[in-house]
A = this chain, B = another copy of it.
Amino acid sequence: MKLGVCYYPEHWPREWWADDAARMADMGLSHVRIGEFAWSRIEPDPGHFDWDWLDEAVETLGAAGLSIVMGTPTATPPKWLVDAHPDILAWDQQGRPRRFGSRRHYCFSSETYRAESARIVSAIATRYGRHPALGAWQIDNEFGCHDTTLSYSPNAARRFREWLAQRHQSVDALNRAWGLVFWSEEFRSFDEVDPPNLTVTEPNPSHRLDYARFASDEVASFSRLQADIIRRLSPGRPITHNFMGFHTSFDHWKLGRDLDFASWDSYPLGNLQEAWFRDDEKLRHLRQGHPDVQAFNHDLYRGVGRGRWWVMEQQPGPVNWARFNPAPVDGMVRAWTWEAFAHGAEAVTYFRWRQAPFAQEQMHAGLNRSDRVEDQGGREARQVAAELKEIGALDPCGRAPVALTMASEAEWHLAIQPQGQGFHWVPLAFEMYAALRRLGLDVDIVGPDGDLAGYRLVVCPSLPILREDTLARLDASGARVLFGPRTGSRTVDGRTPSDLPPGPLQARLPMKVTRAESLRPGGGPTVRIGAATFVSRLWRERIETELAPLATFEDGGPAWVQSGRWNYLAAWPERGLADAVVGRLVADAGLATVPLEEGVRLRTRGGLAFAVNYSDAPRRAPAPDGAHFVLGGPALEPGGVAAWRLG
């Protein structure tokens, strides 16, 4: 458990570097990320490398005892490179080449750019790969940011056709798989297939689904290209990529397989303001962040990293990029850091060392102000460093009692065919996740091929494409399973199963979804469990089954059916219904829950329980009487953290 910081030596006078390094060490930081975005300084002219400054930076930081995370600079190809090879540019959905002038302007499908990326990464890895201060590598930066996973360039079109030929083998198979007989869209050869943009009305959904898969594979192979080079030239140094919160445009699990550990960039206040939450929720958590947003992503990336993960960028104060950019309440940066460690983070890296006095992010806080004075974030990092020393190392997180499954193609399919405005996987899954967390439970988020053994409850918020091997793993796990609406409603090719949804699930849970409807806000449906009635929203399925329902819609139709350990919920649960359904299954599974005051959350790691108060009022830590506190105590101020030994 260690702290670090993102640093851009090229932004500051060389004279400051040694002092910066000394102050990092003094603050208790042990690693520093550099290099990302620095291509124009490393190779200022085509083929002419300027290693001088980077050598000095590496030496200076290493000399201060800091371990270096080197970022590859491929997110920002310089102007001379783009001018020489315009085919590097991605094309947007409107059919225009995207232009130089910010970042991420490259197309994953540009062979030129793949070659150029290999060239620059090789050069950097050759020079620093075996340097003693070199601790780890970060590939590129935030793949998919600014809507850059999908490109509609001629390069993308060409490689998409190759990808399709590989996947479908024959164009007849493609025509059948996508159902292209519909609207006379059949192709005579793969060469006739285009990217699915600028069509008159919606393109074929299987076309879009395969395009999403293709684009995701392009990201993964681009990343792998770099990882392979680095592994060869920098043996023993682990490789990561910094993912983003709630970002679903490419398959994190697939990309994660080529990484040694996962990391993500956690901006609690910015993420909240830009996400789907209602205005009143955004207001309530304005300066603390949502109590479950960070946790959800921590659990996700712990899964992606197969247990090993970092926060690579941690918000240290106000950011610059959200619609509104409030400042965290004092203490909150520390609280977020501890929440990450409680979820098993190996490291938390603050972004950035010092607020920049120029360019796009000059309103983004750092640990230090741009006038070189330590800022609030720096003071809180210093405090965490001291506390870490006190507490000592903790074991990684153990297996949680509950798993929540996540597959990128679920999100892609639902985004392509929402059927009702606002039907997306993440908010639906989050509703169930938050219900678990409000019960004080630890949760693992598990990918499409993740191991499900040992869980007592597995929640599949919605799994439209329900693959046989997923079912086999669920069979094997013995866990209680809750499936959300639309599970099993599509084949791998994006078609409706011939025996209707939930397709292969019917062998375990005898039921059919014969109809689905989406409802506008205020239009229900309501769901009844015993005497209790819950207002639900957006979605209602008609279920044909002989099972006695555990919950019903207003007309008596089944809303929740159960057969043995298999459960299916035919509605989009809002808080009350989510609490009721999840609560009942948790109880059935014999899991112990912890009563939590509003805004307080709990997480365990390495024999400790951690509690954070996300509310704006004092709360009590949910610790037993006489608990042995290693951090804080029973009284939790707003933004307060406590940790105690588990009995």
A76-113 to B contact mask, C-beta < 8 Å, 1/0: 11111001000000100011101111111100000000
- Is A135 part of the contact surface with B, judged by Cβ < 8 Å? no
Contact assessment for A184 and B40 in the assembled complex, using a CB-CB cutoff below 8 Å: yes
Whether, in the assembled complex, A515 has its beta carbon less than 8 Å from a beta carbon of chain B, the answer is yes
Q: What is the oligomeric copy number?
A: 3
Say whether A375 contacts B514, CB under 8 Å.
yes
Note all chain B residues with C-beta closer than 8 A to A376. Answer: 515
Q: Which of the candidate stretches A232-240, A361-369, A589-597 sits at the interface with the other chain?
A: A361-369
**Contact status of A371 and B498, CB under 8 A, knowing A183-B102, A286-B519:** yes
Binary B-proximity of A181-204 (CB < 8 A = 1, otherwise 0): 111111110001010111111111
Structural contact, A323 and B356, CB atoms closer than 8 A: no
Chain B: minimal CB distance from A85 (Å): 14
A49 to nearest B CB, angstroms? Answer: 14
A370 within 8 A of B: yes
Q: Indicate whether A325 reaches chain B with its CB closer than 8 angstroms.
A: yes
Binary B-proximity of A145-172 (CB < 8 A = 1, otherwise 0): 1101000000000000000000000000
| Residues of chain A in range 272-290 having any CB-CB distance to chain B below 8 Å | 273, 279, 282-283, 286
* Interface: A309 (CB within 8 A): no
Chain A 277-318 interface 0/1 with B at a Cβ cutoff of 8 Å (1 = within): 001001100100000000000000000000000000000011
Quick check: B323 and A181 within 8 Å, CB to CB? no
Residues of chain B contacted by A515 (CB below 8 angstroms): 317-318, 327, 365, 375-376
- B182 with A359: CB separation less than 8 A: yes
Q: In this complex, what residue of B is CB-closest to A523?
A: B286
Q: Which of A364-385 contact B (CB under 8 A)?
A: 365, 369-371, 373, 375-376
A205 located at the interface, meaning its Cβ lies under 8 Å from any Cβ of chain B in the complex: yes
A406 is an interface residue with CB less than 8 A from chain B = no
**Quick check: A359 and B520 within 8 Å, CB to CB?**
no
A522 beta carbon closer than 8 Å to chain B? yes
Q: Are A200 and B103 in contact, with the CB atoms below 8 A?
A: yes
Which residues of the partner chain B approach A180 to less than 8 Å between Cβ atoms? 40, 359
27 A-B residue pairs with Cβ-Cβ distance under 8 Å, sorted by A, are: A11-B182, A40-B185, A44-B186, A45-B188, A76-B183, A76-B184, A78-B184, A78-B185, A79-B186, A79-B192, A80-B188, A98-B200, A99-B199, A101-B196, A101-B200, A102-B200, A103-B183, A105-B200, A145-B201, A179-B356, A182-B356, A273-B520, A283-B522, A320-B417, A320-B419, A355-B496, A371-B500
List chain A positions with a Cβ less than 8 A from chain B.
8, 10-11, 37-41, 44-45, 73, 76-80, 83, 90, 94-96, 98-105, 145-146, 148, 178-188, 192, 194, 196-207, 273, 279, 282-283, 286, 317-318, 320, 323-327, 355-363, 365, 369-371, 373, 375-376, 417, 419-421, 493-500, 512, 514-523, 540, 542
